[in-house]
Every structure is written in structure tokens, then in C-alpha cells.
Structure 1
């Protein structure tokens, strides 16, 4: 069974050792990454007490702390959407539909929307592992994004990207670069 410490350290948020010089400077100066790390820790604690060690009181406690901090940062992320390895680079309007599912090692650069198109039934994206979502990108509708896809800044993705390891950009988004690995996967 996974412990809380193991679960919290499964993300790629760059936590500092307790009472190290970097930790103390981070705590004193409270830069942007300090608040983002704090938010992700609250999100992961809520998930831990919701899924691994069921405790309603602690789950709701961390749910509330996460939402208060999320209102300051502009984050609306429900527990259970992201797999391990989450990395958020900037704060400001990161909105994720609760029905969206995002794989391991996802990177978000800020001002992103992952959600439905507002059409019933409520369809939400399914995103693979190792996906990099650029600044101000939007992924909308019941679509699938393959593993290793890089989504460019400002892209609006409304169609599935089923080729692994490609780069998509534009409005509407389309493939602008195929990696050599993606050719090997299609043969």
C-alpha cells in the first residue's frame, strides 16, 4: 500500500528537502512555484484520502484548502483527473473538467482549459502519458490525445490526435511536426 509521502512525491514539482537552504528561501520568499507546489500537494492529499486511505473528514478538509488556494491561483482541478507526475509551470486559469482523464507525466504551462464543448452529453477529453500542453492551449470535447503529444501555445484541439509523439498547433489544431519515432510506431 502506498504511503502519503510516496504519493505526494510522485509528482514532478521539485520539492526541496526539509530545512534546506532552498526550502527556507522558498518558504520566506514564497515565489510562484511555492504556491503551485502547495496547491498540487493539497490536490494529492485530497486524492489520497479519497482513494487510498479513505477518510471523509480529511478528504473534505484538503478539498476545502485546495479550493481556497485554487481561487487565488485560478486553478479548478478536481481530484482524480491527473495520474502521477503532474507538473504545472505557471498559475492563472487552469480549468479541468472533472470527467477528463489525463495520463502520467503531464506538463501544463498555464492558462489552459481541458473540458467539454458544452454540448450534452458532457464529453471530456482522454489524454495519454507524457503530454506537454502549451500556454493558453484548449482541449475540448470527447477526444483522445495519444502519448507523447506536444500541444503548442494557443492551440485549440477539437479533434482526436491518435499519432504518438507529434506536435500539434493552430486554431483549429493540426499536426505540424512528426517525430521520427512516430513514423516507427505507425509501420
Structure 2
């Protein structure tokens, strides 16, 4: 048997040791701090960061890719300039001539005359702005006809309806407002006994 109060290391090997009470120790977070001592939580500062903090090594700097950024900026600028040049220097739509046709016999009683203006173009895409003026004082107001690329003519149609009895000499005039300015007219007779 081990005498009471003997250190645990004095127990001979191969013998059963009696339970020895250990002194009570306060947990780390409850123990009062000594002067200048810090209480730390978590895993602490990584060794690499501590070495940089103490000036023992240089910090790792990210590799900068200025060359790629500059190349991307130059490519975007070139694409923008190409788009602007294409819009400014591509030929625009032009109307070269206009002709108007209809049935010279005119419409039947209570019928409608179909008057067609054919505008010849240069084949480029764009919009034709025009209006119809009738000899009875009526006007269509400004109308717009889209012309797709490759189309060399645009048909502008007026449907003029008549009602009542009598005879009237009628004239329909188309005025191309843009691109350019052109005018053409066609006449017919409305007759209803």
C-alpha cells in the first residue's frame, strides 16, 4: 500500500494505486487574468499571418492581370467604333422616282377606287414617309412605309370610297415627304347615274 500523501510517481509498477484527489483547477475562461495576459478564443492567428505581422516575410500579393483588362477594354472600344462606323457610313434609303396608277374608268356606283403609288428606291433599308391628297379636299395625314434591305420598290396604296349619284373628275396625289421629296398624281372619273 502507498502511504497517504505520497506522490503518484512513487507508486511501484504492477501495484494498484489508491485514488488520490487532485487539486481543483478553474477552467481557462473563469481564471482571472494576470497583468499583461490576453485571453484568446478560437484557433488563433495562422503562422503565415503572424510571420507577416512580425515582419519576418513579405505578404503574398495577388497576381494582377492588367494586360487582360486592357486588352478587353481595347476590344470593346474597337467593337463600339465599328458599330458606329457601320451606322454612319452605311448607305441610307433613297427614293429615286414615284409613279401613280389606277383604273381610269373609276369605281362603280358606291364603290372604291384603288390608287397605287410605286416608289422606286436604291435598295437600302429605311422608311418612306408620305401622304395622299385628294381633289375633294381630303388628306391622309403622314403615313410611314418600311422598306426592307434589297427591295427596289415600295407600293403605297390609297383606297378612296365613293357614294351617291352623279359624275366627278377625281385626282389622287401622293407626296413623298422623306427621303427626298417627290410628287405624282393619277386621275379618274367617278360616274353613277
- Relative to its length, the structure with more strand (as a share) is 2
- Report if TM-score (shorter chain) is over 0.5: no
TM-score, normalised to structure 1's length? 0.16
Structure exhibiting the larger radius of gyration computed from Cα positions: 2
- Relative to its length, the structure with more helix (as a share) is 1
State the structure with bigger RCO (CA 8 A, min sep 6), 1 or 2.
Answer: 2
